[in-house]
Structure 1
Amino acid sequence: MIKYTLSIILMLFLGFNILGENPAKKREKGEYLRYVIHYGFVRGGKASLKLKPEKYGTSEIYHATLTGKTVGLFNSLYRVKDTYESYISKKTLLPIKAIRDIREGNYKRYNEVLFDRGKNQIKSQRTGVKDVPVGIHDILSAFYFARAHHFNSDLKIGEIIKIQTYFSDEEFLLQFRFMGYENVDSKIGEVRCYKFIPIVKTGRAFKDEDDMTIWISADSNKIPVRVQFDLFLGSLRCDLINFSNFSTKTLLNNKESTN
């Protein structure tokens, strides 16, 4: 269970830390977010996301690195250490390259995927070349794109955002529903947030499609502040505990309209 939910956090939560309305000016120093994961009162894991500007060949890019791992008792029961990387074009916010490095118990999987925009193809180390839809994302770049183009005061309650991604060697439609605004009493203070419910698959961990909730700061930072899972075996929560290269004043004194 901790393996499955930690992977969901990595794929669907931390990736929300994405570029704002003017990324070229606001993110040149990079970003760093740290999270702690609790199952009930027990600390089960930690995760982080780093974003920094780099060059990929002759292209100006953002390099996002997302890591998560189990700690304490959960680490003794089932060790997880997962890393996702995305090399994202500054101009289009589309991925150039994606890396997935999974270590979960005795299971290990490493793969690199290259995106050919001219041919609308991907080249996977594991499965070779495949045709894909125009503008397809990897799981990290999808959220960077969503923040730049979808997360704003124009959102309507009940609106569903959909982004086509390529993940784990298959196409995956990422969907999340906007539920309105809510204040969150977080580790860093009280934050006014957008509230989203990702549409998840039921079965292994979730009873209903809306058993996961994500809160994103409703300001220019648009930081993921909290995620909560309602699982078959109880509730799991992931909280932001530290961040750098964001506006603290804007985050904690957000005046954005909630009408």
Structure 2
Amino acid sequence: MSQNQQTITLFFSTPVQFKLLQLHVMALSANKAKDAARWADKLGVDLSSTWNDESWFNHSFSVGNGHLSIIVDTSTREGLPLAPLAELFEAGVIIGAAVDVFYDQVGEHAAYFFLSNRYTTKDAFLEAIPEAASAVEDYEASDSSYDKFLDKPIPKMMAGLKAQQADAEAAVVVMREMAREFMLTKKSPETILRHMLVRAAFVRGLFHGVVFTMLTILLFKGFWFWLLLGIAVTVALPIFYVHQITSEDSSDDDADESADGQDEEALAQAK
């Protein structure tokens, strides 16, 4: 079974924070829950839930000159350890972190750098923490798909990645639905997609109408007025959204027909 390996190298705000996290990780590694909790209280951060999560396994750690590296194996679906990094940054425990990931399925490494709770480049990272050079000199460039998150706070990066995952899962659901409907109806994929877009537009309009009705009733005086207006909006919005979809389809069809006519005219003139 394929699995990735993450090496999480942490750089600290103070020597005291360095020592406290080292003791916390040592206790976690030795399965000494009480000691781990005691050091976590002093540190202000508890990594036990992340450490003991089933997504992390084969834990180990090493200590260097002013830095601590946590090495874990993960599934190939596991993302970067953004949540624990954000927690360490927000508690003032670390000033920087570098994550080297070995992607087993492709046999390649990629590195990701974080500074003051933001995703950053290797150059910016080393400029801020020059003493980290020896620890991360072999770390290769990160995946370019993360470039959109450069200089953004880790929490925003987490939200963006979560939205990307939701979009990808939604796309998979749409493809499965299209395949199922194609098998049942034998309609063309284009026709099926149009029907699905119309249904989605109807549901979106209905949802927006209900939300509008609830908010206006709660926020403004005049219950019956806003209720009746909300019902009207709830009826009108689905029709409006569906009309937008169908009118766009009609425009596309007209444009295609116009282009076909121009092509035929050009061919006739050429003859």
Q: Which structure would you say has the larger Rg? A: 2
Where relative contact order (Cα < 8 A, 6+ residues apart) is larger, the structure is 1
Normalised-by-shorter TM-score class: under 0.3
Q: Report the TM-score when normalising by structure 2.
A: 0.26
Looking at secondary structure, tell me which structure has more strand per residue. Answer: 1
Q: Report the TM-score when normalising by structure 1.
A: 0.26
